[in-house]
């Protein structure tokens, strides 16, 4: 962001898209107080082993270099923002709710840490599946 001085205090201008989660003034930084904004979804990422096959069906082998360089893009929805406004001014509601499991685009998540736990913030349009 761009720094500026206003009323003899330094401030930084940032885009509203850069704000992922907010906390009420005076509250502690915890999962309970986290408020996801716009069409963002807070996801607790689940580590999935691509080599695991629990149902005994067919599977594929993935090169070890690919396996090491990727992070999981599957997780459980923890919090959901209110949605995004359409061009006509109406709020488009979210299609997921806390407790849903989702698959999102690789590299689409912004990683955040809350109470020492790793979470991912993903935009609604980057969600590929809900299950």
Q: Given 3-state DSSP classes, what are the helix, strand and coil percentages for the chain, each rounded to the nearest 5?
A: 10, 40, 50
Q: Which residues, at least 6 apart from 40, have a Cβ–Cβ distance to it below 8 Å?
A: 20, 21, 81, 121, 122, 123, 124
Residue 86 has pLDDT above 70, yes or no: yes
How confident is the model at residue 41, as a pLDDT? Answer: 96
Q: Which residues, at least 6 apart from 85, have a Cβ–Cβ distance to it below 8 Å?
A: 91, 92
Least confident residue range of 9-13, 17-21, 65-69: 65-69
Q: Collapsing DSSP states into helix, strand and coil, what is residue 122?
A: strand
Express each pLDDT in 47-73 by its tens digit: 765 555 555 555 555 555 555 445 678
Residue 27 has pLDDT above 70, yes or no: yes
Mean pLDDT of 20-45: 90
Q: How many C-beta atoms lie closer than 10 Å to residue 93's C-beta?
A: 11
How confident is the model at residue 99, as a pLDDT? Answer: 96
Mean pLDDT of 99-104: 95
Distance in angstroms (rounded) separating the CA atoms of residues 11 and 42 = 27
How confident is the model at residue 5, as a pLDDT? Answer: 92
Average pLDDT of the chain to the nearest whole number: 84
């Amino acid at each position: 962001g761009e720094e500026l001085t206003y009323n003899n205090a330094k401030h930084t201008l940032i885009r509203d898209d850069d704000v992922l989660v907010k906390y009420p003034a005076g509250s502690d930084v915890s999962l309970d107080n986290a408020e996801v904004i716009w069409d963002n979804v807070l996801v607790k990422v689940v580590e999935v082993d691509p080599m695991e096959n629990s149902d005994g069906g067919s599977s594929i082998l993935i090169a070890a270099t690919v396996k090491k360089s990727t992070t999981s893009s599957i997780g459980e929805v923890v919090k959901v923002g209110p949605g995004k406004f359409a061009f006509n001014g109406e709020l488009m509601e979210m299609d997921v709710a806390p407790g849903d499991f989702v698959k999102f685009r690789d590299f689409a998540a912004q990683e955040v840490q809350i109470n020492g736990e790793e979470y991912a913030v993903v935009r609604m349009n980057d969600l590929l599946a809900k299950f």
